[in-house]
Amino acid sequence: MDRRKFLGQAATAGVAAAAASTLPAPAIAQSMPDLNWRLTSSFPKSLDTLFGGIEHFAKRVADMTGNKFKIRTFAAGEIVPGLQVLDAVQKGTVEAGQTASYYYVGKDPTFAFDCAMPFSMTARQQQAWMLHGGGYALMREFMKDYDVHPIVFGNTGAQMGGWFRKPIQSLADVRNLKFRIAGLAGQVFAKLGAVPQVIAGGEIYPALEKGTIDAAEWVGPYDDEKLGFVKVAPYYNYPGFWEGGTQVTLMINTKHWEALPPLYKHVVETAAHETCLDMLAKYDHLNVISIKKLVAAGAKLTPWPRDVLEAAWKASHQLYDEIAAKNEKFKKIYGPWKAYRDDQYQWFRVAELSFANFSFTAQQTVK
């Protein structure tokens, strides 16, 4: 806080000094205790749109509470390994974590609804579902079993489909493809005949260079640019149809959430939601700069062939039906989720998509 400025205002507003000496002061202090939280991320600091989200959030919380509610941020591996954020929050090792819920589909594929899955919703559709379409109620009930209170915490927008050493010209080229891709998307690619690979981030480049793997997916232009894949696997496929609008989640340990004074609960929820707006805006801003640089560096933008998309669409829904048949929790959410998605898809074709289809190409097509 700029003290000089504050004194200036207090004089102008005229009420600050009075308030300090009257009854409300202890009431506010009581509802705003000094508090220190630790917030651990699934992401390294180098992914600065994602990790930057928790820095932005922690600053907002500190700023809105006069620095009384302090949140220390930790990158993946500093105190908790990146893929164990859920576990650390569940155990209460940390009060909160920033993660992508689909990292936990091994525990239960139901986590994917809180993040992204093949042909799930776009960023806006996912936000509509979570905030107004019943998503919050469903996901919060599901995560109660993990002692987690989830809050929507960001979105990457539609991601790219990865880097390929050779162009994919038809579904036949997917067969036996050694593709670094995980989770439900990996299972869909397995159904298409590919061989999904699980490789840590740092090992992808040498594996692509040597040809140990044929392709790898990561995020989108801004994050991908840093890893330099363009030099060893220049075919840059799109879209990442398994990440049409990948949600980032703030997982809070339920006991710590419930122990928060109401004022802090409002601050946390508001700041987390605001972080969504900021993160998506930042991605949309930065991706534009990076896609130009990548193309200049030799990236060959390659759309998925239609037969791959169609086969993936069928394989995805087949997979969801298989999971729903044996997993009650998944089934309970899949029904309303799919109905919601289908309706959203239909409506977005009207105003939003027709605007985009004409306007985004008019520079080239209207003479």
Q: Which of residues 133-162 bind a copy of itself (CB under 8 A)?
A: 133, 157-161
What are the CA-CA distances from residue 153 to residues 38, 50, 81, 99, 278 (Å)? 16, 10, 20, 9, 10
Give dist(CA 126, CA 244) in Å, integer.
Answer: 10
Residues numbered 183-222 forming contacts with a copy of itself, rule: CB under 8 A:
220-221
Site for a copy of itself in 165-184 (CB under 8 A): none
Find the shortest distance in angstroms from Cβ 311 to a copy of itself.
9
- At its nearest, how many Å lie between a copy of itself and the CB of residue 211? 26
Of 32 and 195, CB closest to a copy of itself: 32
Q: Which is nearer to a copy of itself, 61 or 324 (CB)?
A: 61
In the complex, least distance from residue 77 CB atom to a copy of itself, rounded to whole angstroms: 28
Q: Which helix (H) or strand (E) holds 98?
A: strand 96-99
Nearer to a copy of itself by Cβ, of 214 and 224: the residue is 224
Q: Which is nearer to a copy of itself, 232 or 238 (CB)?
A: 238
Size of the site for a copy of itself (CB under 8 A): 113
Least Å distance between CB 131 and a copy of itself?
Answer: 4
The footprint of a copy of itself on residues 269-288 (CB under 8 A) is 270-271, 273-274, 276-278, 280-282, 284-288
Over the window 107 to 136, marking each residue x when it contacts a copy of itself by CB under 8 A and - when it does not, the resulting string is ------------x--xxxx-xxxxxxx---
Output the smallest distance, CB 195 to a copy of itself, in A.
24
**Residue (25 or 79) nearer to a copy of itself, CB:** 25
With a CB cutoff of 8 Å and minimum separation 6, the contacts of 305 are 168, 169, 170, 171
Smallest gap from residue 29 Cβ to a copy of itself (A) = 4
Whose Cβ is closer to a copy of itself: residue 60's or residue 180's? 60
User: Rounded to an integer, what distance in angstroms lies between the CA atom of residue 319 and that of residue 317?
Assistant: 5
Tally of CB atoms within 10 A around 171: 18
Does 248 bind a copy of itself (CB under 8 A)? Our answer is no
First-to-final CA distance of the chain: 54
H helix runs in the chain, sequence order? 3-13, 16-20, 24-31, 51-64, 85-91, 123-132, 135-144, 183-191, 204-210, 221-227, 254-259, 262-296, 306-326, 328-348, 351-365
Shortest separation between residue 206's beta carbon and a copy of itself, angstroms: 26
Instruction: Tell me how crowded residue 52 is: count the other CB atoms within 10 A of its CB.
Output: 18
* 213 closest CA partner among 226, 195, 225: 195
The answer to whether 180 and 199 have CB atoms below 8 angstroms apart is yes
Residue 91 Cβ vs a copy of itself, minimum distance, rounded to whole Å: 18
- Residue selected from 175, 266, 293, 300 as contacting a copy of itself according to rule CB under 8 A: 266
Q: Provide the mask over 3-32, with x wherever binding to a copy of itself is found by CB under 8 A and - wherever it is not.
A: --xx--xx-xx-xxxxxxx--xxxxxxxxx
Q: State which of positions 33-92 bind a copy of itself (CB under 8 A).
A: 33-35, 60, 63-66, 68
Q: Are 250 and 96 in contact (CB under 8 A)?
A: yes
Give the nearest distance from C-beta 284 to a copy of itself in angstroms.
4
Check binding of 321 to a copy of itself (CB under 8 A): no
Token pair 């102008």 is at which residue?
A: 12
Which residue bears the tokens 């929050």? 89
The answer to whether the CB of 121 falls within 8 A of the CB of 344 is yes
